[in-house]
Amino acid sequence: MAEITISDLRHAYDGDLSDPSKLALKGINHVWRDGGAYALLGPSGCGKSSMLNMISGLVRPTAGRILFDGRDVTDLRPEERNIAQVFQFPVLYDTMTVAENLAFPLRNRRIAPAQITRRVNEVAEMLDLGPLLKRRAAGLGAADKQKISLGRGLVREDVAAILFDEPLTVIDPQVKFDLRRKLKLVHETLKLTLVYVTHDQSEALTFADQVVVMSHGEVMQAATPEELYDRPSHSFVGRFIGSPGMNFLPCALDGNQIRFDGGTIPAPALAPRPGSQLTLGLRPHAIQPADAPTGITADLIEVEDRGPWRIADIAIGTNHLKMKLKDDVPLPSGSFPVRFDPDATLLYADDLLTGDLRHAQA
Amino acid sequence: MHKLDDNRAWLLIVPVFALVAFNAIIPLMTVVNYSVQDIFGPGQRAFIGVEWFREMLRDPTIQAAFIRQMVFSGLVLAIQIPLGIAIALLLPRSGWKSSLAIILIAIPLLVPFNVVGTIWQVYARPEIGLLGRAINAVGFDYNYTASPVAAWVTLLLMDTWHWTPLVILLAFAGLCSIPQPYYQAARIDGASRYAIFRYIELPKLKGVMTIAVLLRFMDSFMIYTEPFVVTGGGPGSSTTFLSIRLVNMAVGQFDLGPAAAFSLMYFLVILLFSYVFYTILKMNSRA
Amino acid sequence: MSIHLEQAGRDVDGIMHLADIDLTLEPGQLYVLLGRTHAGKTSLLRLLAGLDRPTSGRFTENGADLTRVSISKRSVAFVYQQFVNYPSFTVRGNIAAPLKRMGLPAGEIARRVDDVARRVHIEPFLDRLPGQLSGGQQQRLAIARALAKNASLLLFDEPLVNLDYKLREGLREELRNLFRQGNQTVVYATTEPEEALQMGGTTIVMHEGRVIQTGPAHQVYRNPASVTVAEVFSEPPMNVVPARIDGDRLHIGALDIPLPAHVPPGQGGDCRIGVQPHRIAHRQQAGSVRLDGPMDLAEVDGSSTFAHFTAQGHPWIARLDGVHVLAQGSAFAGYVDPRDFYVFTAAGALVVPPATQGAAHG
């Protein structure tokens, strides 16, 4: 187990660092605490997989250092780093039994046979692979195969971290829950440092204590799932997390008012840098129809019934927004007053969170 | 309308059917016909049943040729399959070096069989051939027209030069199709180079190597042109393989009946061996 | 031009893939096949396309037998899960390929290619090869090729399943709008209830090779004919627990509550109670029943949290709005209003849906 520190990690596929805009990783600093469950989340091509492969040692960064517990491992090969990795598609040694697959990393490291047997049985027990130990690994289902891949990491008592590269992609939705639960259990019991790469916010927010959201080779926010959802520090995170994503409404400060096309709301006491572009960030559930006039009027464009709730496309002035209503909330029609929930209305300046409207009530 | 669909489908396979009939089924039936008759001359023949088959099985020259053939094919497989895999493992997997290596390796496959024979016939001659003179210069008494061992060595070298590239190409294609994560996982698991070969590469090569073994077995079991050009079956009868013996019988002695029976058995033996190989290898890869 | 399946079935090597399919596809309508993996969705699509033949039953178009008519003679387009394009043709060449085969004049082909490329937003890439496109763009191309043919029957087999989460969200909305504009018959297969609801049209719920319910999406969602439909058409699956009606009392485990008023009289004995996950609230409301027990796993999906917990001896799932961190093993208390109960017979047939039906009264 180890604390993993990444310092000023920069990477260019052609090794040329001169043009910062072309870098796959643009100078990333981060600390993965010992025993934490982390997710690296971002759209395809954001650099998350490259970063994972640098931690495991499969890819060497063009510049920057990687430290395990303060020890520089940047120049070490994967087998010298004591990490384990689970890939998108299950990697198994087809000719071996499940037990032999689990024992493989230990046999390579010349561990005593009695100890190997003990570890293999312990890990098989934890992952419910006990009854399968004598079976050929090749004939098993995808979920069991992924468990074996994970098991090959867990058998090593010296393992510093386990890295996951979209491990649930090939798993049927019905068995995903089982594997997710198993992963949580493994984390709770063994307190290993886990790093999980995915493009799927559900995977990341379900798995991790802390999620690192990346875009175009940069970290946009590293925070708990709740923080990412409730207080995205960058507008990209607001759009990326949540379904549908956060609404952004261009606005301007006008004394103690925030003015936007279609209405005003009281402003908080803050002074963003003059000249910066201000926007209001509103989760779809933060916009709700009001019983009495509020100074903000919305026009209903379209309503979509999504079962548990409805998503309404509305226009406030010339702005198009999505409003989320629970299925037992009466549906308005035509033009109607709406209310912004002050606890969930955030103010952004040049895409960065600068404050909320919690204390701005008149 | 539905019937029309079906009829047209049948029409489409008629050309293939005709082709196969002319170049396989009809000649084969002619051979079957000869194999059960004694032919004295034009228009003079008698039905003698399985007599030729019985005689061929008892013929000591054929028995010897059969053993020779088995040994030859066995050696060919034992040398060329491991050698082919080994060379394929050494090749670069991508880039211009890889393309260049593949082109160079494939050259022997493009040389016609009798030209291969002629090249080696000259190349290995003790008095003028580069190889022959070099071996003699080192101190070995090497003459493939006089020594059976030298004749065998020459033929095996030639066949290996000619056909190992096929095994290399198949093995290389197999290796290229192994996904990268397998290698990455093995590195992380601390696997040695040998363990990677034994537990990842070899299992994944099983499919293509089945094909390589089958092709090399069938080709080497039927080998004719190259030994005919190089040794002519000698010295003595030390390199008289089944096909050479067969041609001597059919063309040299004009014993059509026995030769027909012989060739039918030859054909069945190859079919049988190929089937056995195929079944064993397939069973292995399934288990 | 309506397509009709009557008692159609398909067995392959003695294994049933489809059975007793009765279906009528009206021209210009949208049909969504909803079911879990291996429910028979792909088999049914292949049958409709003419790629496979039914081994029993009738398959007709306006009364004419279609059983043995090959796909090339019919006006059908198919979009797959995988991004299937001609790798050596440009985007333009890919879209034009089926049109050239139809023998259209060059001017007409160019016009259609431009039109359809604009509709699916790939006009900037017309001269690129598929290999130079992102996953989302490759699937747009496959969709464009299918649309360009102007086939009378368009088949989609989980076209978005291999795309990133956010891309999926956007493309889903675009597809729905495309289907609304077009006059082609569309059959769209999915495993996701939310996708079925968002697409709208007629939902055909499939399970184990059979059609188990057909009807307008929202109607099927709110009135599932059986427990199976309720489970398939809800994400997460509807909570269904065994219960017993005893006079005017309802027993669920150790719970003993008055029989809700919407349950028709004359019910008695064993039954099953269904509760939609989003109807289990975090906060107590008037008249609600408390379900409490230990938390299992909390999964985050889009903008909501699936809390898995155990209460009254049964596993339950509550779908809570927003992102919440709920530790495994912690105490969970959920509240559910008995008026929101679905009542099924012990065998699983619907007796009565909830008294209040969300959007149904909106």
pLDDT one-digit tens code per residue, B173-200: 999 999 989 999 998 888 889 999 999 9
* Mean pLDDT within C297-307: 89
Cross-sheet strand order for the sheet of A161-165:
A83-86, A161-165, A193-198, A37-41, A210-215, A218-223
* Mean pLDDT within A285-303: 91
Third-level CATH fold of C3-224: Rossmann fold (3.40.50)
Percent of chain A topping pLDDT 90: 56
C194 touches chain A (CB under 8 A): yes
Please report the ipTM that was assigned to this predicted complex: 0.89
Non-local (6+) Cβ contacts of B2 within 8 A are C68
Residues B97 and B36 in one domain: no
Q: CA C66, C67, C69 angle in degrees (round to 5)? A: 60
* Mean pLDDT within B95-122: 87
Dmax over CA atoms of chain C, in Å, equals: 76
- Chain A residue with CA closest to B193: the answer is A108
DSSP code at position B251? I
SS3 per residue for C131-187? HHCCHHHHHHHHHHHHHHCCCCEEEEECCCCCCCHHHHHHHHHHHHHHHHHCCCEEE
Q: How far is A139 from chain B (nearest CA, A)?
A: 9
Domain ranges of chain C: 3-224, 228-352
Lowest mean pLDDT among A186-190, C6-10, C311-315: A186-190
Encoded tokens for A282: 């509103």
Whether A202 sits inside 8 A of C165 (CB atoms) is yes
A123/A106 Cα distance (integer angstroms): 13
Q: How far is C215 from chain A (nearest CA, A)?
A: 15
* Mean pLDDT within C303-320: 93
| Peptide bond just before B42 cis, omega within 30 deg | no
Q: How far is A269 from chain C (nearest CA, A)?
A: 27
Lowest mean pLDDT among B243-252, C286-295, C312-321: B243-252
The residues on A that touch B, with CB distances below 8 Å, are 56, 58, 77-79, 83-85, 87-89, 91, 93-96, 104-105, 108-109, 136, 149, 152
Homologous superfamily (CATH) of A4-232 is: P-loop containing nucleotide triphosphate hydrolases (3.40.50.300)
Answer yes or no: is pLDDT of B287 > 60. Answer: no
Q: What is residue B207's predicted lDDT score, i.e. its pLDDT?
A: 84
Encoded tokens for B51: 């007599």
CB count, 10 Å around CB of C210? Answer: 17
Please name which of A233, A218, A338, A225 lies closest in space to residue A281, comparing C-alpha atoms. Answer: A233
A279/C6 Cα distance (integer angstroms): 57
* Mean pLDDT within A54-76: 92
Q: Which residues pair with B139 in a beta bridge?
A: none
Residues B167 and B117 in one domain: yes
Residue whose structure tokens are 């003695």: C14
Label residue C196 exposed, middle or buried (CB < 10 Å: 0-12, 13-18, 19+): buried
Non-local (6+) Cβ contacts of A161 within 8 A are A1, A2, A4, A32, A55, A68, A83, A84, A192, A193, A194, A195
* Mean pLDDT within C134-158: 91
CB B70 within 8 A of CB B272: no
Label residue A247 exposed, middle or buried (CB < 10 Å: 0-12, 13-18, 19+): buried
- The chains in contact with chain A, meaning 3 or more Cβ pairs closer than 8 Å, are B, C
Can you say whether residue C40 is alpha, beta or left, with left for phi > 0 and alpha for psi between -120 and 50 degrees?
left
- Chain A residue with CA closest to B284: the answer is A95
Q: What is residue A274's predicted lDDT score, i.e. its pLDDT?
A: 77
Answer yes or no: is pLDDT of C52 > 60. Answer: yes
Encoded tokens for C349: 């047939």
Q: How far is A172 from chain B (nearest CA, A)?
A: 21
Please name which of A137, A157, A156, A139 lies closest in space to residue A148, comparing C-alpha atoms. Answer: A137
| Peptide bond just before C277 cis, omega within 30 deg | no
B162/B113 Cα distance (integer angstroms): 9
Q: What is residue C306's predicted lDDT score, i.e. its pLDDT?
A: 94
B3 touches chain C (CB under 8 A): no
Answer yes or no: is pLDDT of C360 > 60. Answer: no
Q: How far is A318 from chain C (nearest CA, A)?
A: 21
Non-local (6+) Cβ contacts of B99 within 8 A are none
Answer yes or no: is pLDDT of C357 > 70. Answer: no
Q: What is residue A15's predicted lDDT score, i.e. its pLDDT?
A: 82
Label residue B101 exposed, middle or buried (CB < 10 Å: 0-12, 13-18, 19+): middle
A272/A264 Cα distance (integer angstroms): 18
Percent of chain C topping pLDDT 90: 61
Going by DSSP bridges, is the β-strand pair A193-198/A297-305 parallel, antiparallel, or unpaired?
unpaired
What's the pLDDT band for A1 if we cut at 50, 70, 90?
A: low
B113 touches chain A (CB under 8 A): no
Encoded tokens for C257: 């509550």
Interface test with B, best of C59, C60, C61, C68 (most B CBs within 10 A): C68
Label residue C182 exposed, middle or buried (CB < 10 Å: 0-12, 13-18, 19+): middle
B199/B191 Cα distance (integer angstroms): 9
Whether C70 sits inside 8 A of B5 (CB atoms) is yes
Residues on chain B touching A56 (C-beta within 8 angstroms): 184, 188
Label residue B242 exposed, middle or buried (CB < 10 Å: 0-12, 13-18, 19+): buried
B139 touches chain A (CB under 8 A): no
Q: What is residue C362's predicted lDDT score, i.e. its pLDDT?
A: 32
- What pTM, to 2 d.p., does this model score? 0.83
Encoded tokens for A58: 């499969």
Please name which of C159, C212, C144 lies closest in space to residue C190, comparing C-alpha atoms. Answer: C159
What's the pLDDT band for A359 if we cut at 50, 70, 90?
A: low
Q: CA A98, A101, A107 angle in degrees (round to 5)? A: 135
**pLDDT tens digits, B208-239:** 888 898 889 888 988 888 888 878 777 878 88
Q: What is residue B36's predicted lDDT score, i.e. its pLDDT?
A: 82
Q: Which domain holds residue B23?
A: 14-47
C135 touches chain A (CB under 8 A): yes
Q: What is residue C361's predicted lDDT score, i.e. its pLDDT?
A: 36
* Mean pLDDT within A214-231: 94
Residues B194 and B247 in one domain: yes
- The chains in contact with chain B, meaning 3 or more Cβ pairs closer than 8 Å, are A, C
Please indicate whether residue B7 or residue B237 has the higher confidence score (pLDDT): B237
Please name which of B157, B224, B125 lies closest in space to residue B232, comparing C-alpha atoms. Answer: B224
Whether C359 sits inside 8 A of A327 (CB atoms) is yes
Residues on chain C touching A301 (C-beta within 8 angstroms): none
Q: Is A16 helix (H, G, I), strand (E, B) or coil?
A: coil
CB C302 within 8 A of CB C320: no
| Peptide bond just before A90 cis, omega within 30 deg | no
Answer yes or no: is pLDDT of A188 > 80. Answer: yes
A301/A279 Cα distance (integer angstroms): 22
A343 touches chain C (CB under 8 A): no
Answer yes or no: is pLDDT of B3 > 60. Answer: no
Residues B70 and B23 in one domain: no
DSSP code at position C347? T
Q: Which amino acid is at C75?
A: S
C318/C299 Cα distance (integer angstroms): 10
* Mean pLDDT within C150-155: 90
Looking at the 3D structure of chain B, how many domains does it have? Answer: 2
C73 touches chain B (CB under 8 A): no
A310 touches chain C (CB under 8 A): yes
Q: What is residue B4's predicted lDDT score, i.e. its pLDDT?
A: 44
Please name which of A122, A175, A117 lies closest in space to residue A144, comparing C-alpha atoms. Answer: A175
Non-local (6+) Cβ contacts of B113 within 8 A are B225, B226
C68 touches chain B (CB under 8 A): yes
How many CA within 13 A on the CB side of residue A318?
3
Q: Is A355 helix (H, G, I), strand (E, B) or coil?
A: strand
* Mean pLDDT within A280-295: 92
Q: Which of residues 191-220 of B touch A (CB under 8 A)?
A: 191-192, 195, 199-200, 203-204
Q: What is residue B1's predicted lDDT score, i.e. its pLDDT?
A: 38
- Chain B residue with CA closest to C68: the answer is B2
Please name which of A75, A129, A91 lies closest in space to residue B196, comparing C-alpha atoms. Answer: A91
Residues on chain A touching B199 (C-beta within 8 angstroms): 93, 95-96, 104
C171/A41 Cα distance (integer angstroms): 20
* Mean pLDDT within A107-130: 91
C305/A241 Cα distance (integer angstroms): 13
How many CA within 13 A on the CB side of residue A143?
16
Residues B155 and B217 in one domain: yes
C64/C67 Cα distance (integer angstroms): 9
Please name which of C287, C286, C247, C241 lies closest in space to residue C267, comparing C-alpha atoms. Answer: C247
* Mean pLDDT within C309-322: 93
* Mean pLDDT within A106-120: 92
Please name which of C279, C282, C261, C274 lies closest in space to residue C358, comparing C-alpha atoms. Answer: C279
Q: CB-CB: which of C276, C299, C325 is closest to A202? A: C299
- Indicate whether B122 belongs to any domain: yes
* Mean pLDDT within C186-212: 94
Q: Would you tell me the crossing angle of helices A98-108 and A142-154 to the nearest 10 degrees?
A: 30
Encoded tokens for C171: 């493309």
Domain ranges of chain A: 4-232, 243-356
Residues B19 and B86 in one domain: no
**pLDDT tens digits, A325-340:** 988 888 888 899 999 9
Answer yes or no: is pLDDT of A158 > 80. Answer: yes
Answer yes or no: is pLDDT of C228 > 90. Answer: yes
Answer yes or no: is pLDDT of A196 > 60. Answer: yes
C335/C291 Cα distance (integer angstroms): 6
A332/A319 Cα distance (integer angstroms): 18
Size of interface B-C (CB pairs under 8 A): 3
Q: Is the domain defined by C228-352 classed in CATH 2.40.50.140? A: yes
